[in-house]
Amino acid sequence: MQSFRTEIENPIVEKDIIELANKIELFHNGKIDEEKFRSLRLARGVYGQRQEGVQMIRIKIPYGKLMSNQLRRISEVSDEYSRGRLHITTRQDIQIHYVDLDRTPELWSELEKDDVTLREACGNVVRNVTASETAGIDVNEPFDVSPYADALYKFFLRNPICQEMGRKFKVSFSSTDEDTGLSYLHDIGYIAKTENGVRGFKVLVAGGLGSQPRHAEVLYDFVETDKIIPIMEGVLRVFDRYGERKSRAKARMKFLLKDIGLEAFKELIAQEQKAIEFKSVVIDADAYVASKPVEVEVPEVTIKDQKAFELWKSTNLIPQKQEGYVAIGVKVLLGDFYTDKARLLADLVDNYAAGEVRLTLRQNIVIPFVKSELVPLFYTELEKLGFVEAGYNKAVDITACPGTDTCNLGIASSTGIAEELERVITAEYPQYLKNEDLVIKISGCMNACGQHNMANIGFQGMTVRTPDKLVAPALQVLLGGGNLGDGNGAFADKVVKVPSKRGPEALRRILNDFEANANGKQFVEYYKEKGEKYFYDFLNDLQDVTNLTQEDFIDWGEEEKYVKEIGIGECAGVVIDLIATLFLESEEKIENAKISFDDKVYSSAIYYAYTSLVNSAKALLLAENKKTNTHAGIISQFDELFVSSGKIDLGVTFSDLIYQINKFAPTQDFASKYIENANEFLQKVRTYRETQTNVLDKKAV
């Protein structure tokens, strides 16, 4: 094992980083199955890239709040281990690319010096907790959701109940009924509310995008703030046990709820209540350390272009509830900027604001706590960085995922077409610099990282095939999606599929018709009134692939002829493990259970033991060539194949043994007994496996 060392003071974090280094070495030496190693590194923010031999690193920025020292630290790491480019994601993370796998533990160690983590930024875990970028400053908010988002993020980080779920799990917080956190498309979404002066949240569950978008359902109209963590723990326990694990396409929570219904889902949550240690988790919002603006003299500055300054002020300033202050929206083209600008931005907010920036769901930056008198100064300084493009969060501000630039799943360019569409709007439709209604989003594939199917106008990367079998890059045009507020939203309809090079013409026709016929209506209402066929009719001719030119076979931003290349997706790939690896994992889980027990964290100890029991049962089922799916399915299958048949004697059914987890409170006595059960079960199934293997070996001889 390599002797990797860190300078991290937190022993839990240090153990995490050393474990990653050790697992990388075991992987290189052929001691860990490739699929299992993928699962481990993804949960540590290390994601395979389209380009062979390098990794994308996703850096977790909870609710998008980034302090200036953290921005500098990320810049240093990007310069040292990557290429100096930072990419803001639609989940308020930062990604860097082209990183050597062997250097990732060292990279992570450097980030942690300023409390920046990679843990659970990717993989089948609770992903980055997102929130409204104006949390704490929004003029309409009933209270600041930041302390609650922060507490929830910390509670579930490294929590054993959500480390190896069937798929990823996404959480959002919205500051107001405008639902700028987009709760309706999350696995669980919280919208800030007050009732009779008491703080709380509306809770929505099981929303999602992807190829089959689903609107979240209301779990509770109002719960007080001390209930949000226990509620999410119940939801996660149910998802972990009953969620699909075999079919990647059906493994999100939205499919579980669709299959069993909301009432059955609530009943399963109720069954977990005895296992949940904390029925109430009080979050001390007053103890949350909010950023404080600096006191500074207002320097005199000269504005060179007053007209440009006034336009920028009209589109990029955000009112702030703190008197005398505004926030500044910085439009970041496609979410990409470089470390030289990042460092200067960190200096600027340190010297003249509150030492923080917010990363937004539309891949932009917000600078809060700018004194109104300092706006001219910020404009002149941001202008030096190329950060004063007008149209923050307006129609010209298009969201796009990386697409075929770096993503394995990218089918067609999303960044190239996004740049071209922004150019078209700026040059031909300048009125949309100030239009907040029109939301345009682009994804390079059906997985909707660019959130195309919730946009007013969305584009999804695809391909078209000509009659003589030639393949060209294409765009599915989707229309009519939008955020309607208070947890309500509309998903866009797929209207036509056009060659990518015709994307700008499709946009022109849509905008021209909107201008002529909307009559003051917002786009969602205008689309609903006209209907899908109306748009199909005036876009249909753009689908014709019998008359393509050579240019149509070259994707946006490329020079070579298009070749469709799709790799294996990594966000939540199915893991089929080797039997020996599963048994070793069961041992590790029991060791983790004992550590948690010694630390008196009995609920965690019990859950580690539970995952060991499931893991051991899964190993034996796979050894018998049985398909394994949900945890609940594994448990019933094991009883049927091994216990009811008398092959293995447990003294009780496996169901009775393992489901003690939701029959008993997480006490010290029960934790001790349950860990012992898990250990005994592992020994029994191992012995059975060895006996069967020996019998087979003798028969072979």
- C-alpha–C-alpha distance, residues 389 and 384, integer Å: 12
Nearest to 49 by CA among 565, 432, 588, 420: 565
Q: Is residue 83 part of a domain?
A: yes
Same domain, 509 and 379: no
The CA distances from residue 258 to 234, 241, 251, 252, 264, in Å, are 18, 16, 12, 10, 11
What's the CA gap between 402 and 410, in Å, rounded?
A: 8
Whole-number pLDDT of residue 603: 96
- The answer to whether position 2 is within a domain reads no
Q: Judge whether 64 and 94 are in contact, CB under 8 Å.
A: no
Question: Checking DSSP bridges between strand 188-195 and strand 171-174, what pairing results, if any?
Answer: parallel
Tell me, what's the pLDDT at 402? Answer: 74
Q: Are residues 106 and 174 in the same domain?
A: no
Check residue 534 and give its pLDDT. Answer: 97
CA gap 441, 168 in Å, rounded: 22
Q: Domain span at residue 479?
A: 399-553
* Bridge partners (DSSP) listed for residue 151: none
Q: Measured at the alpha carbon of residue 554, what is the angle toward residues 551 and 560, in degrees to the nearest 5?
A: 120
Q: Would 301 be classed as within a structural domain?
A: no
Burial profile 72-87: b = 16 or more Cβ within 10 angstroms, e = fewer: bbbbbbbbebbeeebb
Q: What is the 3-state secondary structure (H, E, C) of 223-249?
A: EEHHHHHHHHHHHHHHHHHHCCCCCHH
Residue that finishes a domain, picked among 498, 518, 553: 553
* SS3 assignment, position 59: strand
Residue 362's alpha-carbon distances to 158, 427, 523, in angstroms, are 28, 22, 19
Q: Which of 281, 376, 296 is nearest to 328 (CA)?
A: 376
Query: Which stretch of DSSP H or E encloses residue 620?
Result: helix 602-623
Q: Are residues 136 and 279 in the same domain?
A: yes
Instruction: Kindly report the CATH number assigned to the domain that includes residue 614.
Output: 1.20.120.330
Q: How far apart are CA 299 and CA 280, in angstroms?
A: 50
Q: Clarify whether residues 138 and 262 are in a common domain.
A: yes
Q: What is the CATH number of the domain that holds 16?
A: 3.90.480.20
- Chunked mean pLDDT (size 10), the chain, 701 residues: 64 91 88 78 84 88 97 98 95 95 94 96 94 97 98 96 93 98 97 98 95 94 98 97 87 95 96 94 92 90 94 95 97 93 98 97 96 97 95 85 66 82 91 81 84 92 88 93 95 94 95 94 95 96 93 81 55 48 89 96 96 95 88 96 95 97 96 97 93 61 41
Write the DSSP assignment of 142-155 as a string of letters: SS--HHHHHHHHHH
> Are 342 and 445 contained in the same domain?
no
Question: Taking a C-beta distance cutoff of 8 angstroms, is the pair 571, 125 a contact?
Answer: no
**The last residue of a domain, from among 384, 417, 449:** 384
Residue 392 lies in a domain: no
Number of domains into which the chain is organized: 5
pLDDT, residue 408, reads: 61
Query: What is the spatial distance between Cα 87 and Cα 57, in angstroms, rounded to a whole number?
Result: 10
CATH code at position 198: 3.30.413.10
Whether residue 448 lies inside any domain: the answer is: yes
Residue given tokens 């507490």 in the structure block: 151
Bridge pairing between strands 440-443 and 399-400: parallel
The amino acid present at 584, given as its one-letter code, is L
| Whether residue 253 sits in one domain with residue 191 | yes
Answer yes or no: do 689 and 612 share one domain.
Answer: yes
pLDDT tens digits, one per residue of 551-603: 888 888 776 766 665 444 554 333 334 677 788 889 999 999 999 999 999 99
Q: Cα 60 to the chain's mean position, in Å?
A: 9
pTM of the model: 0.90
**What does the alpha-carbon distance between residue 78 and residue 58 come to, in Å, rounded to a whole number?**
11
Distance CA 556, CA 54 (A): 24
Show the CA angle centred on residue 408, arms to residues 406 and 414, nearest 5°: 55
Is 299 inside a domain boundary?
Answer: no
Tell me how far apart the alpha carbons of residues 114 and 112 are, in angstroms, rounded to a whole number: 5
Predicted pLDDT of residue 163: 92
Same domain, 664 and 619: yes
Position 364 in a domain: yes
Domain boundary among 384, 408, 436: 384
CA–CA separation, 322 vs 136, rounded Å? 9
Q: Which two tokens stand for residue 675?
A: 């860990």
Quick check: is 4 in a domain?
Answer: no
**175 and 272, same structural domain?**
yes
What is the Cα–Cα distance from 342 to 425, expressed in whole angstroms? 27
Shared domain check, 446 and 375: no
Check if the beta carbon of residue 96 is closer than 8 Å to that of residue 116: no
Are 415 and 547 found together in one domain?
yes
Residues sharing a CB contact under 8 Å with residue 103, sequence separation 6 or more, in sequence order:
81
Cα–Cα dist 698/688, whole Å: 16
The answer to whether residues 204 and 317 belong to one domain is no
Question: What are the φ/ψ torsions at residue 424 (nearest 5 degrees)?
Answer: -60, -45
Give the closest residue to 313 by CA, choosing from 395, 384, 385, 370: 370
